[in-house]
């Protein structure tokens, strides 16, 4: 196994304080590696970066069209949202169309990351519900598929038809036999593959023709970046910075993917340390290297060459890409 490549550096004054490392792969539409950093064959759990693949059976089964799902709902099926009203209201309406309520979800309640939503719960002396969970859109998609398949309510069971359909889609797009799965934060199975396999899957999404299930999903993400994550989040801000030409999706423990339809390229990366700041710096650096993101765009600079400030607002250091990215 190859060692992780340096991803990001933390400088405090004139001192290099820490270095984040990881693995990254960019693939073309033939599945061949265009560029790689670290080990392309490292086995990974893509976590929420695989939500587009998990949403594929929703379309390929006919469930999405039968339910009349909108592009907003398709974007939410791929989302790790903030639990803001724009997210929870839409998930709630989606559940109503299925004749279901919050208790049909199996993702668990989660305090919203959106400050306004969190403050509203505190003022109301209320508790967060499952719709606040960042994966509730994905789970609404699972419920839609389960209803279409006339399957049981325990859709997170690895043996449930919903999850067997997700595994089939995962192995077909990665072009690998998954060695197994872990249970994700939202209680659904998360299938493993190599990093190359995940990049290959994203390249398949990027090269898919207009109107295909893959195209419908990444187009929905690019059309509704605010629903995919939320204000202040890297996915949302970077998609906007690239004028909706690239779809991005983060995953827990330092994962990130990018889908570049115009270039027919797919990217997957994993920060070995599992930190978000390393993955966000690295995905911005990859996008700059591939010519998809302007290195001087304020949103790029927010992730690369970002000032680190203390509680008094004093700039104490900088987060920047490692020299290996060859970004000036």
What's the pLDDT at 180?
Answer: 98
What's the pLDDT at 324?
Answer: 83
Domain-wise residue ranges, the chain: 5-325
State the residue for tokens 């983060």. Answer: 250
SS3 145: helix
Q: Is 291's pLDDT higher than 60?
A: yes
303-324 confidence digits (pLDDT tens): 998 899 999 999 999 999 999 8
Half-sphere exposure of 183 (CA within 13 A, CB side): 7
Beta bridge partners of 82: none
Name, in order, each residue with C-beta under 8 angstroms of 22's C-beta and a sequence gap of 6 or more: 4, 5, 7, 37, 38, 254, 269, 270, 271, 272, 273, 278, 279, 282
CA dihedral 276, 281, 287, 288 (to 10 degrees): 170
Q: Determine the topology of domain 5-325 in CATH.
A: Beta-lactamase (3.40.710)
CB-based contact 166:53 (threshold 8 Å): yes
Q: Tokens for 303, please give them.
A: 């992730």
SS3 308: strand
49-64 confidence digits (pLDDT tens): 999 999 999 999 999 9
275-284 confidence digits (pLDDT tens): 999 999 999 9
pTM for the structure as a whole: 0.96
Share of the chain above pLDDT 70, in %: 99
What's the pLDDT at 306?
Answer: 86
129-142 confidence digits (pLDDT tens): 999 999 999 999 99
3-state secondary structure 201-229: HHHHHHHCCCCCHHHHHHHHHHHCHHHHC
CA angle 140, 142, 60 (to 5 degrees): 120
Q: Is 328's pLDDT higher than 70?
A: no
């Amino acid at each position: 196994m190859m060692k992780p490549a340096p991803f990001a550096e933390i400088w405090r004054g004139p001192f290099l304080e820490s270095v984040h490392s990881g693995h990254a792969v960019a693939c073309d539409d033939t599945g061949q590696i265009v560029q790689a950093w670290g080990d392309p064959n490292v086995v990974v759990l893509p976590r929420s970066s695989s939500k587009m693949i998990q949403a594929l059976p929703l379309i390929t089964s006919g469930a999405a069209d039968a339910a009349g799902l909108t592009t907003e709902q398709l974007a939410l099926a791929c989302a790790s949202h903030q639990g803001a009203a724009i997210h929870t209201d839409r998930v709630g309406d989606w559940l109503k169309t299925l004749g279901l309520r919050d208790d049909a979800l199996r993702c668990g309640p989660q305090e919203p990351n959106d400050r306004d939503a969190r403050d509203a719960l505190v003022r109301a002396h209320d508790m967060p519900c499952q719709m606040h969970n960042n994966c509730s859109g994905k789970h609404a998609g699972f419920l839609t598929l389960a209803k279409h398949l006339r399957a049981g309510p325990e859709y997170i069971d690895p043996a449930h038809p919903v999850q067997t359909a997700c595994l089939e889609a995962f192995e077909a797009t990665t072009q690998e036999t998954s060695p197994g799965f872990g249970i994700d934060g939202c209680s659904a199975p998360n299938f493993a593959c190599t990093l190359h396999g995940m990049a290959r899957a994203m390249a398949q999404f990027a090269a898919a023709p207009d109107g295909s299930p893959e195209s419908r999903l990444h187009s929905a993400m690019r059309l509704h970046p605010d629903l995919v994550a939320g204000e202040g989040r890297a996915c949302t801000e970077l998609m906007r910075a690239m004028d909706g030409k690239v779809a991005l999706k983060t995953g827990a423990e330092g994962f990130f993917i990018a889908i570049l339809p115009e270039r027919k390229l797919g990217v997957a990366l994993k920060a070995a340390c599992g930190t978000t700041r390393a993955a966000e710096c690295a995905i911005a650096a990859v996008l700059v290297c591939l010519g998809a993101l302007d290195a001087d765009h304020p949103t790029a600079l927010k992730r690369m060459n970002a000032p680190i400030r203390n509680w008094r607002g004093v700039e104490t250091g900088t987060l920047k890409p490692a020299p290996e990215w060859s970004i000036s």
